[in-house]
Amino acid sequence: MATIQSDILYAFCKASSTFRSVPRSIVFCRLISSPHRPSFRLRAFTNGGAGESSSPAAVKLPEKPSICTADELHYVSVSNSDWRLALWRYHPSPQAPRRNHPLLLLSGVGTNAIGYDLSPGSSFARYMSGQGFETWILELRGAGLSVNGSNSKDIQKSSQAISDRMEATSESASNSNGVVASEKELNNILDAISDKMESASKSASKLNGAVASEKELNNNSEAISESVTSSSLEVETGNGAVSEELTRLATVWDESKLVARLTETFMRLSERVSGFLSDNQSKIMSTKLLDQISKLLVDSPLYERFNEIRGKLSALLETGQNSGITNQITDLSQKLVKIIEESQLSVSPPLFDLQARFTSTIEDFQRQLDLMVKYDWDFDHYLEEDVPAAIEYIMNESKPKDGKLLAIGHSMGGILLYSMLSRFACEEKESRLAAVVTLASSLDYTSSKSTLKLLLPLADPAQALNVPVVPLGAMLAAAYPLSSRPPYVLSWLNTLISAEDMMDADLLKRLVLNNFCTIPAKLILQLTTAFRERGLCNRNGTFFYKDHIHKNNVPILAIAGDRDMICPPEAVKETVKLIPDHLVTYKLFGEPEGPHYAHYDLVGGRMAVEQVYPCIIEFLSSHDK
């Protein structure tokens, strides 16, 4: 059990999931940033209906994907990015009191909008719209139905594909045997990770608020990196056996193609992989690749020749991009391929499948570089680009008289709101927030016993290169049978999400199978600063958000759950104590004899509609002036 309970991947469980079909409209909105943020010019594309935008250039699109259960689905573009962020919109009930401000909901790390809309009988978003709030849920880049696309046709196609995949995952879980993944996939994705994380668990148990020794963290990080890198690459391709298949099929030796591929790989490293890698990180990655090739030749008489070429390549890569480097790298790549070829032919007996293994090594490495570029964002991207773009668009659509909105954030969503308030307070600027509610959120976890401390082995920046992404959604789906069916070897996982008897089994299933996404290592790295002295900071380590939260002038309701192991009450209070008393209200849900509230129960638990939701309505109503 120590091995299983050490799994860092499940410490991220933040929000929830559902799939109901309410066909309405889909809107694609493109925001084009002006030179001075946060001002935007807007162009909207809509298929009409009650929520049709008054902006020009309206284009009718097909219906929104069935996985989206909102009244409308909008898309917002972000400056300096190809991402189009999904905004789920819920119209206020005409029978409810008229509200003065729209409401924005922000989800946790690696989660999507479904967490706020699990089912007709368990939908926080529908409850709030039923109370008269025009409610919007933002899906940050990489989450839910947010996509890369340049026009409405691409948006529609991509969002439909995502919706189909999410529904297929749920259907797979409902087959006759209740099996989500094959035995082989479970072994590759789940068991391998669990087996290699026992040392991380032992180290974490020694923490008690302190960081493990550097040696322990390095050992743990290496073990985690090996297992998660393997599963990340396999999950991202959509087939757990892809690596084996590539090795088996790569039997034809195409020297020219291999030289071109190897040259391309080294050139990308020389160019710092589209800005993802620093000079030092690029050196780490190139060393890693050359080490992998070296292992293939360790028993070969050509090993010394390889080391000569390796030295020249390393020197070239350290000099960076220049006019003559391409030809030199191509020449050295040619020589390296020749060495592999000669080793395959000259050694008696021949080295088994050396050429195929060499090809597979290059392909695996390239896929890892692709993941780095694809998932190249962190917490500051959310804070400085995604959330402001969404707020600007909502303001344009809803047009509140005072130019403000209300906001609720669960887990990382609440951390984003705290960070916004801190940043604007420091700069003495208007936050455009009338009032804020945070659910299980904090800027500082150092004094708590949060299970997120198991992220500390990944706090070494080098590990972001070995583990570019954590495919949380795919891993939770693979683990689901082990947590929900005999012999219940991962049943403890459910308690991280929901306390006993607090969530209907079908809703928990939807939560696990559809609500979680792939998480970039860069995002994890920044979030781990919340466990260090002074708490969460920006990517450069120059701005500590809790240092300025006391300057905030926006009313805050901070809510905690008594059985929350991800963001325990003591972590929530660590931030609350920094805010002026007249501006903050702290509320702890859960009683000694029950009911109890775990991390997600504050949003989707069976008692939330009776206890938590009314508390939030009362607070927001008092500040909806």
Collapsing DSSP to helix, strand or coil, 582 comes out as helix
Neighbours of 486 (CB within 10 A): 8
Res 621: pLDDT: 97
- Return the minimum-mean-pLDDT range out of 28-32, 410-414, 446-450, 462-466: 28-32
In this prediction, residue 466 has a pLDDT band, given cuts at 50, 70 and 90, of low
Please name every residue paired with 45 in a beta bridge, in sequence order, or none if there are none.
28
Answer with the residue of higher pLDDT: 198 or 319: 319
Which residue type, as a one-letter code, is found at position 611?
A: Q
Q: Which residues contact 150 (CB under 8 A, 6 or more apart)?
A: 82
CA distance linking residue 326 with residue 211, whole number of Å: 44
In this prediction, residue 2 has a pLDDT band, given cuts at 50, 70 and 90, of very low
Q: pTM of the prediction?
A: 0.72
Residue 82 has pLDDT above 80, yes or no: yes
Phi, psi of 544 (to 5 degrees): -105, 115
Look up residue 161 and give its two tokens.
Answer: 């594909």
CA nearest neighbour of 454 among 508, 382, 524, 371:
524
Work out the average pLDDT over 352-368.
69
Please name every residue paired with 139 in a beta bridge, in sequence order, or none if there are none.
86
- Return the minimum-mean-pLDDT range out of 47-61, 85-99, 169-183, 524-538: 47-61
Neighbours of 1 (CB within 10 A): 9
CA nearest neighbour of 600 among 502, 491, 513:
502
Answer with the residue of higher pLDDT: 579 or 82: 579
DSSP string of 32-50, one letter each residue: EE-SSTT-EEEEEEE--ST
Which residue type, as a one-letter code, is found at position 331?
A: D
| Per-residue pLDDT reduced to its tens digit, 414-434 | 999 999 999 999 999 999 999
| Per-residue pLDDT reduced to its tens digit, 582-624 | 999 999 999 999 899 999 999 999 999 999 999 999 999 999 9
Q: Look up tokens 């570029």; give the residue.
A: 373
Phi, psi of 364 (to 5 degrees): -60, -40
- Return the minimum-mean-pLDDT range out of 382-391, 518-527, 541-550: 518-527
CA distance linking residue 126 with residue 603, whole number of Å: 12
Look up residue 559 and give its two tokens.
Answer: 């809510």
- Return the minimum-mean-pLDDT range out of 47-56, 163-172, 382-391: 47-56
Res 489: pLDDT: 45
Please name every residue paired with 558 in a beta bridge, in sequence order, or none if there are none.
438, 586
CA distance linking residue 201 with residue 188, whole number of Å: 20
Q: What is the mean pLDDT of the chain?
A: 74
> Rounded to 10 degrees, what is the CA torsion of 96, 98, 101, 102?
40
In this prediction, residue 471 has a pLDDT band, given cuts at 50, 70 and 90, of confident
Q: Which of 49-58, 195-204, 440-449 has the highest mean pLDDT?
A: 440-449
- Return the minimum-mean-pLDDT range out of 135-149, 256-270, 461-475, 492-506: 461-475
Helix axis angle, 505-514 to 152-173, nearest 10°: 130
Burial of 238 (0-12, 13-18, 19+ CB in 10 A): exposed
CA nearest neighbour of 108 among 385, 417, 380:
417
As assigned by CATH, the class of the 58-172+379-448+551-622 domain is alpha beta
| Per-residue pLDDT reduced to its tens digit, 215-262 | 444 444 444 444 444 444 444 444 444 344 434 333 344 667 777 777
Look up residue 529 and give its two tokens.
Answer: 């600063």
Res 279: pLDDT: 60
CA nearest neighbour of 523 among 446, 415, 389:
415
Helix axis angle, 303-319 to 325-346, nearest 10°: 160
Q: Which residues contact 486 (CB under 8 A, 6 or more apart)?
A: none
| Per-residue pLDDT reduced to its tens digit, 559-576 | 999 999 999 999 999 999
Look up residue 421 and give its two tokens.
Answer: 């308030």
Residue 39 has pLDDT above 70, yes or no: no
| Spans of all domains in the chain | 58-172+379-448+551-622
